[in-house]
């Protein structure tokens, strides 16, 4: 019997510590599959964040570095600039990337670092026990917004992909979702494309993956997927927001 879906060698085969139903695991698998499919496992360096996926270094079957909270894009920059032959990716949560790591995210994108960022947006700080993230939905109850996120108190959720899309530096910016099987099929394509752009030396590539956190949302995995579909997707539209082919990159404004 041939295995038509078999576990990727891009992951180490150990049980993972994620909660039942948590889509971190699915996203790990897709990234690992792409790395394997593109044949770059032996040149890949991944960077794990601080967040539930902090020990992703135990799961990905490639060289890994563990970054300080929010700084993964800086590490990626450091690695890629001195070893452009390596395939460098970061794997980051929304607290990590969209809060403490805002500057590193925006600036790495703006410099056009030839790295791939996998951004797992679960609208919450998972690891530390469910505090509000910049991506938390209006009205969403968290341990630090016990009455629900009040947009008059701390603003609206940040749409990182749209934010980065205003930068003129070419980039591949896409948002996908991991909440169900159909969206996973699309997500996989986006991740593949993101790594391809890196391998071609074209641009910075960034995949935002909407993800569920049943534990801190206080929902079953199925309910959590529903909530993501009903609440998050309307606010976080899916699709390619920017590709490096967008618009002519004219050199009109060169100075002096």
Ligand X SMILES: Cc1ncc(C[n+]2csc(CCOP(=O)(O)OP(=O)(O)O)c2C)c(N)n1
Report the interface residues with a second copy, using CB under 8 A.
99-103, 106-107, 110-112, 134, 137-141, 148-149, 151-159, 162-163, 165-169, 227, 231, 234-235, 251-256
Contact residues for 196 (Cβ-Cβ < 8 A; gap 6+): 38
Q: Which does 94 bind (CB under 5 to 8 A by kind): other proteins, Mg ion, ligand SF4, none?
A: Mg ion
Backbone angles phi, psi at 252, to 5 degrees: -55, -35
| Closest approach of ligand SF4 to the CB of residue 48, in Å | 13
* Element of type H or E holding 226: helix 221-227
Assign residue 112 a region: left if phi > 0, alpha if psi is -120 to 50, beta otherwise?
Answer: left
Alpha-carbon distance of 227 to 219, in angstroms, equals 9
Could you say which of 10, 11, 24, 79 contacts ligand SF4 (CB under 6 A)?
A: 24
Q: Which of residues 115-144 bind ligand SF4 (CB under 6 A)?
A: 122, 126-127
Name the β-bridge partners of 145. 142
Stretch that binds ligand SF4, among 76-84, 148-156, 208-216, 230-238 (CB under 6 A): 208-216
| Closest approach of ligand SF4 to the CB of residue 10, in Å | 18
Q: Which of residues 184-213 bind ligand X (CB under 6 A)?
A: none
Backbone angles phi, psi at 46, to 5 degrees: -100, 155
Alpha-carbon distance of 126 to 45, in angstroms, equals 24
96 binds ligand X (CB under 6 A): yes
Between 63 and 180, CB nearer to ligand SF4: 180
CB atoms within 10 A of CB 18: 18
107 binds other proteins (CB under 8 A): yes
| Closest approach of a second copy to the CB of residue 148, in Å | 7
| Closest approach of a second copy to the CB of residue 238, in Å | 15
Comparing every residue's Cβ against Mg ion, the nearest one is 93
Between 73 and 93, CB nearer to ligand X: 93
- Binding string, 37-66, against other proteins, x = CB under 8 A? ----xxxxx-x--x-x-xx-xx-xxxxxxx
231 binds other proteins (CB under 8 A): no
Backbone angles phi, psi at 201, to 5 degrees: 65, 25
Q: Which of residues 124-143 bind ligand X (CB under 6 A)?
A: 124-128, 133
Which burial class, exposed, middle or buried, applies to 60 when counting CB atoms under 10 A from its CB (0-12, 13-18, 19+)?
A: buried
| Residue among 23, 201, 17 at smallest CA distance from 115 | 201
Give me 204's structure tokens. 């910075």
Alpha-carbon distance of 90 to 75, in angstroms, equals 9
Q: Which of residues 3-32 bind other proteins (CB under 8 A)?
A: 3-7, 11-13, 15-26, 29
């Amino acid at each position: 019997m041939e295995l038509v879906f078999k576990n990727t060698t891009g992951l180490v085969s150990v049980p993972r510590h994620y909660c039942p139903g948590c889509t971190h695991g699915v996203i790990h698998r897709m990234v690992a599959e792409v790395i394997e499919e593109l044949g770059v496992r032996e040149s890949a360096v991944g960077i794990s964040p601080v967040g539930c996926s902090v020990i992703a270094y135990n799961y990905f079957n490639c060289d890994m570095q563990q970054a300080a909270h929010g700084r993964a894009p800086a590490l990626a920059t450091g690695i890629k600039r001195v070893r452009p032959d390596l395939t460098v990716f970061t794997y980051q949560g929304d607290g990590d990337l969209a809060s403490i790591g805002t500057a590193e995210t925006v600036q790495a994108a703006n410099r056009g670092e030839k790295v791939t960022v996998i951004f797992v947006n679960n609208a919450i700080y998972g690891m530390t026990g469910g505090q509000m993230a910049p991506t938390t939905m209006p009205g969403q109850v968290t341990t630090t917004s016990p009455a629900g996120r009040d947009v008059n108190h701390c603003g609206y959720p940040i749409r990182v992909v749209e934010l980065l899309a205003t930068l003129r530096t070419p980039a591949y910016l896409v948002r996908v979702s991991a909440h169900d099987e159909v969206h996973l099929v699309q997500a996989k394509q986006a991740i593949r494309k993101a790594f391809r752009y890196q391998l071609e030396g074209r641009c910075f590539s960034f995949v935002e993956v909407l993800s569920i956190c049943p534990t801190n949302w206080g929902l079953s995995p199925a309910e959590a997927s529903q909530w993501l579909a009903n609440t998050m997707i309307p606010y976080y539209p899916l699709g390619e927001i920017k590709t490096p082919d967008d618009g002519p990159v004219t050199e009109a404004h060169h100075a002096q």
